[in-house]
Structure formats: structure tokens, C-alpha cells
Amino acid sequence: MSDGSTSVELVNSLRGLIAGLAAGDRLPSSRELIQRFHVGPGTVSRAIAVLAAEGAVVTRPGSGTFVAQRARLDARVANTAWQTVALTDRTVDVRSVTDVFGTPSESTLMLDGGYLHRSLQPVRALNAALTRAGRGPDVWDRAPTAGLTGLRAAFAAFTGAGVSGSDVLVTGGGQSALSMAFRAIAGPGDPVLVESPTYPGALAAARAAGLRPVPVPLDDEGVLPDLLAEAFAMTGARLFYCQPAFHNPTGTVLAASRRAQVLDVARAAGAFVVEDDFGRHLGHAGAPPRPLLADDRDGTVVYVTSLTKPGAPSLRIGALIARGPVMERMRAIRRVDDFFVARPLQEAALELVTSPAWERHVRTLGTALGERAVALAAAVARDLPSWTVTRVPAGGLHLWARAPSSAVRIAGAARRYGVAVSAGDRYFAAEAPGDYVRLTFGATAALPDLAEAVRRLVRCQDGDAD
């Protein structure tokens, strides 16, 4: 038995002992504990330290260890059963955004996750931006509800859609923006149309807002406009969530011939289109696709984007762009939710995106991600011929592959071989039409790690077949 497990057992034993004592009672001496529990002096010292940190005991040098005043109260297990009735059935479903296999070990090769590995993040530029922002005389003042003027203007310029900074609301990342948009447009019980498959975080945000996700199929050119029209007619939905560029998880780009059709269908239904342009800075070569927002003249599109994906996980800065009453409603939700996004983070983001280092980073990142996408697709084709990669995307962070057997079983078995992949069932609002796996190529430390991860998947597949 390890010393760590022995310490845990001793802590639990001492908790039981303390439960039977009164505040101020003295615990047995270290020598007595060593003899009673057959442990070493180091184990006793560690156990006492844990209990002292919890506030269960106090130590008095030269006198001993004594039960603290609140130890008896802490020893009782709270009865919270009444909360089940008080909370009713309004649960928050996080299954689509929770790792069912637990936190991966440090040695696990990550073909899962939605953030860049640290080696791909603009860490030096981020640190420099944060330092410059910290020198500002008003950096700790309250920020405007809609966001810093300069940052709003930068987000407007990134879209290339001819919008102004006055149409922008700065948010605490893309996920916060989605939650805000869903709650502003629809109410509990309302349907929301989503591409099938789609981003699990959007499904979680919609369900947390009480909405009912309704799937609309994709093909190689994006969402099918005729089926979108049918879904609007059948459900009466007033909201369609989509990712026209570098779709997560499939990498699809909405075909130019369908862009106007999607907007026309939404307008005819009197509905909004929430356009999630998470990949605006994740194109692998050349300019990213023109957003739907650029073709919107009637306020149909509510546009979502973020700096988190191309930057770093803790760069929780995103934006909503919209016109008309829907923007006023989202600003009202911002005032109720949290008043404004922390000014130091906004100032740092503004320093980052207005520096020459940002443009260099985006170019370098695009090249690196393109190389990784090709390398991972080639490794899968070479070493896992029974798997089918649907496409090598022109942007984004993921490959979408059809597996030869249960994706959930593959994902679970892969963990045992030191590689993390994402089972595809969590990307569907309804039943999955096949066994799909999402493979991330931006979360490993270096290019060779992708080939090694695939080799581990081969060993996993071979071992599972034995």
C-alpha cells in the first residue's frame, strides 16, 4: 500500500475519532497514534496537517493537537434532500460538454479539445499586451456595457461585413455570446434549429435556456436549404444556429450557392440566424469565407465570434454583432447578467489585436494548422484504412472521421492507450446516423505527436480486436 493511501486512511480514521470528541478535547499524541494505527511518524504528521488545514483541529506546540470549535459541526453530513423539491426539474444538461472519461493524464496525446496547444498560442504577444494594458491609468475603471470603443471597432473590422463598432457587444467569450443570443431570441420550450451534427456547446447552451434543439441535416456543401425550410414550417422555430465557415466538427464551408437561400428561408419564416464564426482567424490559407452577416440587410443575422480559439483558453473575449431590437435586448441581458466584461482583459485584447504581432500570429497559425490537418489526415489514411476522413478542412481545428465500430467504445479504449479522441454522438441533437469520431489537430505539442497518436489508435484497435 502506498504511503499516500495510508495517509488518507489515517485522516479518515481521525475524522471518526474527532466526531466522538468535544471541542477542545486533546487528540492522542503522535506516539500513541503511531502505535494504534501502525503507521510512521511522517504519515501522522501529514494527516494532522490535512485536518488542521480543514479546520478540524488546532495544534499547540508543546501541548498537543486539539479538536477545533467547529469540528463537530463539520463532521455532520448536511441533509440537502429538500433542495430536490425546491429546484424542481430545471436541470442543466452538461453531458455534451463533459469529458465522460475524466481528466486525461499529462502523458495523454490530445486529439480532443477545442483549444490550441500552448506551443501554438501567441504567448509572448499576449504577455506583452497584458503588460501594456496594465500601465493604463484607467485600466481598473468600469468598462462600458457594450465594450471598449476600440475593441468593438476591431471586431467590426474583422468581419469585413461593413458593420460599425456601434453594432458590436463585447462578451466574455463565444460561449457566453451564444447563451446571451439564445436567451434574447427564444424562450423556454421554444424550438431552435441546428445543423446536424453541430457544436456541443451550442446544444448545451440552448438546453440550459430551456430551448429544444431540432436537427437539420448537412451535406458536403453545408446545411440543406429545402430541409431548413421544412423544419421552420414544421416547428414554427424563430431561430437557426449555424457555423457556415469551418464547421465544427465536420469542417464544412457553406457553399456560395446556398448562402442567399439560407437567409431567404430565414426571412420568410420571420426567424433569426445565429451565425457562429468561431473560425474567423483559423483559416489555413488565404482569407476566410465571407460571413453571412455581410449579405444581411434586414437584421436577420446575429453574429458570434471570439478571440479564444486563435488566442488562448483564458482570453475570454468574444463579440455579438446585430442590428435592431435584438441588440437592445442582448445589451439588457448583459446589464442584468454581469454589467460588463472585465476591463483589464478587454484592454489586453485590444492591445493584442491592434499590434503587428497579431497579424503575424494569425498567418503563422494558419500555416501550422494546415500542415497539421494534412499530416493527421495522411496518418489516418495510411494506418487506419478502415476509418474514413470526410474531408481535409480549409480551416478550423478538427477532422471528422467515420469509424468502423462504436465511437464511444473507441474513445474509451483510446484513453487506455494514452490518446484522447471525441466520440461523435455528442455532436448530434438527436440520434447519430453513424459512428463518427472528431480528431483535433491543434491540441498536441508538435507535428510528430499526431503520427504517434494515430499509432496508438492502431494499437488500441488491434488490442481491442484480440
Measured between alpha carbons, how far is 407 from 395 in angstroms, rounded to an integer? 24
Residues 128 and 208 in one domain: yes
Tell me what the mean pLDDT of segment 183-210 comes to. 95
Please name the residue ranges forming H helices in 38-122. Answer: 41-54, 71-75, 82-87
Measured between alpha carbons, how far is 419 from 417 in angstroms, rounded to an integer? 6
Please name the residue ranges forming H helices in 63-142. Answer: 71-75, 82-87, 123-134
Give yes or no for residue 419 having a pLDDT over 60: yes
Residues 188 and 274 in one domain: yes
pLDDT single digits (tens) 80-96 = 777 777 777 777 777 77
Edge-to-edge order in the sheet of strand 301-306: 168-171, 318-321, 301-306, 272-276, 239-242, 191-196, 212-219, 222-223
Tell me what the mean pLDDT of segment 249-269 comes to. 96
Residues 106 and 162 in one domain: no
In a domain? residue 82? no
* Res. 62 pLDDT band, cuts 50 70 90: confident
**105 or 342: whose pLDDT is higher?**
342
Give yes or no for residue 262 having a pLDDT over 80: yes
Tell me what the mean pLDDT of segment 71-88 comes to. 65
Range with the poorest average pLDDT among 103-107, 305-309, 393-397:
103-107
Give yes or no for residue 74 having a pLDDT over 80: no
Cell 464547421 locates to: 247
Question: Which residue range is the domain that position 68 belongs to?
Answer: 3-75
pLDDT single digits (tens) 164-176 = 999 999 999 999 9
Residues 371 and 283 in one domain: no
Mean pLDDT in the chain?
A: 91
What is the pLDDT at residue 324?
93
What is the pLDDT at residue 326?
95
In a domain? residue 50? yes
pLDDT single digits (tens) 403-415 = 999 999 999 999 9
Tell me what the mean pLDDT of segment 153-164 comes to. 93
Quick one: cell of 85?
423539491
What is the pLDDT at residue 464?
61
What is the pLDDT at residue 73?
46
Residues 183 and 308 in one domain: yes
In a domain? residue 93? no
The pair phi, psi for residue 341, each rounded to 5°, is -85, 140
Residues 293 and 349 in one domain: yes
What region, left, alpha or beta, does residue 362 occupy, with left being phi > 0 and alpha being psi -120 to 50 degrees? Answer: alpha
Tell me what the mean pLDDT of segment 90-116 comes to. 81
The CATH number linked to 10 is 1.10.10.10
In a domain? residue 41? yes
Give yes or no for residue 327 having a pLDDT over 50: yes
The C-alpha angle with vertex 123 and arms to 119 and 129, in degrees rounded to 5, equals 165
Predicted TM-score of the model (pTM): 0.82
Tell me what the mean pLDDT of segment 143-150 comes to. 95
Residues 352 and 388 in one domain: no
In a domain? residue 96? no
- Domain count for the chain, please give it: 3
**Greatest CA span in the chain, whole angstroms?**
83
The pair phi, psi for residue 98, each rounded to 5°, is -110, 135
**288 or 311: whose pLDDT is higher?**
311
What is the pLDDT at residue 77?
60
Q: Which of 325, 356, 387 is the last residue of a domain?
A: 356
In a domain? residue 408? yes
Tell me what the mean pLDDT of segment 354-377 comes to. 96
**Hey, what long-range contacts does 223-230 have (CB within 8 A, 24 or more apart)?**
223/195, 223/254, 223/258, 223/262, 225/258, 225/261, 225/262, 225/265, 228/193, 228/262, 228/265, 229/265, 229/268, 229/269
